Amino acid sequence: MTSELLQKARDLEARYGPRIPDSERPALHATPAIGWMNDPNGFSMYRGECHLFYQYHPYSNEWGPMHWGHLKTKDFIHWERLPAALAPDRDYDAAGCFSGGAAELPDGRQLLMYTGVRRIYDAEGFLQEIQTQCAAVGDGVNYEKAPNNPVLDDKDLPEGGSAIDFRDPKIWWEDGVLYAAIGNRTADGSGAVLLYRETGSLKWEFVRTLDASRCQYGKMWECPDFFPLDGRQVLITSPQDMDPVGLEFHAGNGTLCLIGDYAPQGGGFVRQYAQAIDYGLDFYAPQTLLAPDGRRIMIAWMQNWDTVGAKPGHCRWFGQMTLPRELAVKDGRLYQTPVRELENYRSGCVVHRNIPVSGEINLPGVQGRVLDMTVDVRPTGGELYRWFRIRVAKDGEHETIIRYRPSDGTVKIDRTRSGLPRDIVHTRSFLARPQGGKIKFRIILDRFSVEVFVNDGEQAASAVIYTRQEAEAITFEAGGSALMDVEKYSL
């Protein structure tokens, strides 16, 4: 039965969502039907299609009592809208249906696992959240919340685990068993990822702690995911309140990828490598799925809690997802590239090879705001160039700059003049692998974002921009002399 609250959200999005013109949305990135979007939820295959739910507040462009919005796609690029899937309409989730996962059940139904949040007054009279895990089962459009909700609560926590910060179940099948990885705050005030196993009839039991921050990588670990890839095991999570570490981790809400080995019957997960997932300004709460062809595909919220205050006035939608990205692990690093289906949307190939750059130049046919462009840069002559800049979304007043400086190996993304109306962080620098001055950028530009992939996916950096659409010039500039190839497609 559709509750009154869910019906109200469905009526609102059906009535007002289509009034937002397509030209005011990204061409290729998923956005909410109307109102606010945060984390991707339940990113998974169901009946041969990819479903994507999202944290959703349809009533304003601000975060509010969380619903689950719903999209699906056949090719990871073109999204079809479905009616909102969940509303906070029960006592146990009255303060929000927070993030979670989805999986297909053996009987053909779709299971959604989410965090139900309710508020209580604690002993000091302060409002406190209680977070429990809840289930809903449905047919890909309509869902019934389970009669035995919540299916996991404080009684299921390991010693010292917080019932206030216990959220974001990601679920998956492994050898016929349904598992859940769930974020939790530990007794030391930092975070951990807990593993649970379903034992039948949506009952769950605690298996082990997969890994914990021990105050090293931020506080509460939100939105975990755990999967095998290329012979290794990967644990991803989005820590709150991180301390900055060099150019690897920035302060605040960040992302963490731990790569290691997993012995399910033995010592569990043993991490070997730690890295940030995306080095840009807007990226949080990624979630992955296993595609039928074996690819591990990740999508994330292309925003950050520390930057969400900078939105265009009166926007009718706010929050978008990254492009889905194919993942690989090579030499202990996570690689990311846009899903290959993006290539089906390319047109108008423009190629320039062996172009000498010193000073600022533009190239015939290389401009636009919705495009896929690869720029290969290398030194020329005896001397290494000092820096190389690509400017996109440019007019007389605006530009978004991607800069490489070979002497210290830093790539910098700078969206200071990209239409954001607030004085927040607008630049981020990170390290690329030194290759004697050679570097390759793949830049995906959509109306309201730029995603940069360095050296075939060794690093990714994402940022939202709100530059006026007429700002579509692109220029290249070197300090010293460089040689470059450019291949550009419209999308």
Q: Which residues in this chain contact ligand FRU in the complex, by CB under 6 A?
A: 38-39, 55, 66, 98-99, 115, 167-168, 222-223, 284-285
Q: Toward ligand FRU, which CB reaches closer, 254 or 368? A: 254
Tell which residue, 489, 487, 379, has the closest CA to residue 441.
Answer: 487
- Whole-number Å distance between alpha carbons of 416 and 421: 10
User: Does residue 330 contact residue 464 with C-beta atoms inside 8 Å?
Assistant: no
Residue 93 annotated to the active site: no
Q: How far is CA 467 from CA 70, 312, 397, 442, in A?
A: 28, 10, 10, 20
Nearer to ligand FRU, 191 or 406 (CB): 191
- CA-CA distance, 175 to 453, in Å (whole number)? 34
Q: State the minimum distance, in angstroms, from the CB of residue 126 to ligand FRU.
A: 19
The minimum distance between CB 33 and ligand FRU, in angstroms, equals: 17
- Judged by beta carbon, residue 97 or residue 471, the one nearer ligand FRU is 97
SS3 call for 390: strand
DSSP, collapsed to helix, strand or coil, labels residue 345 as: helix
**Choosing from 22, 39, 261, 408, which is the catalytic residue?**
39
CA 223 to each of CA 53, 181, 197, 455: distance values in angstroms, whole numbers, following the listed order: 14, 9, 17, 28
Nearer to ligand FRU, 167 or 394 (CB): 167
Among 3, 179, 7, which Cα is nearest to 101's?
179
Quote the tokens at residue 398: 């605006």
Radius of gyration of the chain (CA): 23
Distance in Å, CB of 38 to ligand FRU, minimum: 5
CA gap 246, 67 in Å, rounded: 37
* CB of 311 vs ligand FRU, minimal distance in Å: 16
Nearest to 318 by CA among 73, 113, 32: 32
Q: Which residue is nearest to ligand FRU (CB)?
A: 98
Q: Distance between CA atoms of 340 and 14, rounded to whole angstroms? A: 32
Q: Which CB, 98 or 204, lies closer to ligand FRU?
A: 98
Least Å distance between CB 86 and ligand FRU?
Answer: 12
Catalytic residues: 39
